[in-house]
């Protein structure tokens, strides 16, 4: 462990790393670079891909001796990119190499770096299994390791069609339509109190919503047919309807008086409960004060007894 990060002070900056690789591989080898999220990425021309990986490992000033991972990126019409991440245990630097595969989407190919980094062997097999990228020089991509042998297609490609989605849409994408007897779609407007689901809890919540948000009874402008509408329903005292029947007016007044009486009774009960609570609290405070007084008297008596004991012994 003494050699880990021993040359941290000699670690190259991203600019120095790019300049060194351009010097070793040629200007055409490095087609671009970027630093994003604290990670330095070099885009390498595919014909220099294998040599770039070898230089990153063997160049003393780079010393990327640890292979981290390798994967592919679907670039749609532009084809596929292969990305590998390397790490130097001596300098602590991390480097990302990225290259565009030859062959487009029809027959993508990329040189294998499994001879340089043995850890790339398995990840190149996974990338072939998921994207269909042929790694030239790999000792053996087959058999498939993430899918079955008779699997058709490359699952991580963006144009891969999921057959199960063609047979059955994704759950929750669209609720089934409600049809009437003639097969026409019933359009419903959600209202307060409609149960969101078939469960008992949904029905309870819906009933609570109805009670908390009462809907006023319909009232006509002239008030002519309010009596007809009220014949089949219970009228609320605060409905605001114009009543023409003397009996109905008397009933509504009686209901209003009953509501006032109930409110008065409820208010009186609330006051009684409040007064009872205050009385209990006052009684509790008096009892606590009395208990503290008795305790103080007992402590004072104990202190007097303790002081008198030596005098009695001395007199004796």
The predicted structure's pLDDT at residue 242:
46
| Fold of the domain spanning 8-136 | Beta Polymerase; domain 2 (3.30.460)
What average pLDDT is seen over the chain?
Answer: 78
For residue 72, the tally of other CB atoms under 10 A from its CB is 24
- DSSP H/E element including 295: helix 246-315
Query: Average pLDDT of 212-221?
Result: 64
CB–CB of 229/240 below 8 Å? no
- According to the model, what pLDDT value does residue 272 have? 74
- CA separation for the pair 20, 16 (Å, rounded): 6
- Relative orientation angle of helices 14-25 and 49-58, to the nearest 10 degrees: 120
pLDDT classification of 218: cutoffs 50, 70, 90: low
pLDDT digits (tens, 9 = 90+) for 68-121: 999 999 999 999 999 999 999 988 899 999 999 999 999 999 999 999 999 999
Burial of residue 305 (CB within 10 Å: 0-12, 13-18, 19+) is exposed
Highest mean pLDDT among 12-16, 244-248, 301-305: 12-16
pLDDT in tens, 26-58: 999 999 999 988 899 999 999 999 999 999 999
Q: What is the DSSP letter of 312?
A: H
Q: Where are the domains of the chain?
A: 8-136, 176-215
The pLDDT assigned to 222 comes to 55
* Mean pLDDT, rounded, for 195-211: 66
**Residue closest to 60 by CA, chosen among 94, 10, 22, 23:** 10
Burial class (CB in 10 A: 0-12, 13-18, 19+), 89: middle
Q: Where are the beta strands (DSSP E) in the chain?
A: 30-36, 39-44, 66-74, 80-87, 94-100, 109-111, 134-136
Q: Are strands 80-87 and 94-100 parallel, antiparallel or unpaired?
A: antiparallel
pLDDT for 100:
96
Q: Residue with structure tokens 């006032």?
A: 260
Q: Note the pLDDT of residue 233.
A: 45
Tell whether the model's pLDDT for residue 65 goes beyond 90.
yes
pTM of the model: 0.51
Biggest distance spanned by C-alpha atoms of the chain: 120
């Amino acid at each position: 462990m003494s050699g880990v990060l021993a040359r941290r002070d000699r670690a190259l900056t991203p600019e120095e790393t790019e300049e060194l690789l351009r010097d070793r591989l040629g200007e055409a080898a490095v087609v671009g670079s970027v630093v994003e999220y604290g990670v330095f990425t070099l885009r390498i021309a595919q014909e220099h891909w294998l040599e770039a990986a070898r230089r990153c490992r063997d160049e003393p000033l780079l010393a990327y001796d640890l292979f981290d991972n390798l994967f592919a990126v679907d670039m749609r019409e532009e084809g596929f990119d292969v990305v590998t991440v390397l790490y130097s245990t001596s300098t602590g630097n991390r480097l990302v190499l990225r290259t565009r595969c030859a062959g487009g989407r029809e027959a993508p190919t990329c040189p294998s770096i499994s001879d340089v980094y043995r850890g790339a062997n398995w990840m190149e097999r996974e990338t072939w299994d998921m994207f269909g990228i042929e790694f030239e020089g790999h000792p053996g991509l087959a058999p498939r390791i993430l899918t079955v042998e008779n699997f058709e297609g490359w699952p991580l490609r963006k144009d891969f069609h999921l057959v199960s989605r063609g047979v059955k849409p994704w759950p929750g994408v669209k609720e089934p339509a409600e049809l009437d007897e003639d097969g026409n779609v019933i359009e419903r407007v959600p209202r307060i109190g409609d149960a969101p689901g078939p469960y008992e809890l949904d029905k309870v919540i819906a009933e609570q919503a109805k009670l908390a948000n009462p809907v006023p009874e319909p009232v006509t402008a002239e008030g002519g047919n309010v009596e007809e509408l009220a014949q089949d329903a219970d009228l609320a005292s605060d409905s605001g309807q114009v009543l023409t029947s003397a009996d109905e007016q008397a009933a509504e007044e009686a209901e209003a008086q009953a509501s006032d009486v109930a409110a008065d009774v409820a208010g009186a009960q609330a006051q009684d409960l409040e007064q009872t609570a205050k009385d209990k609290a006052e009684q509790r405070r008096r009892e606590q004060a009395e208990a503290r007084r008795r305790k103080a008297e007992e402590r004072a008596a104990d202190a007097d007894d303790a002081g008198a004991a030596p005098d009695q012994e001395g007199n004796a």
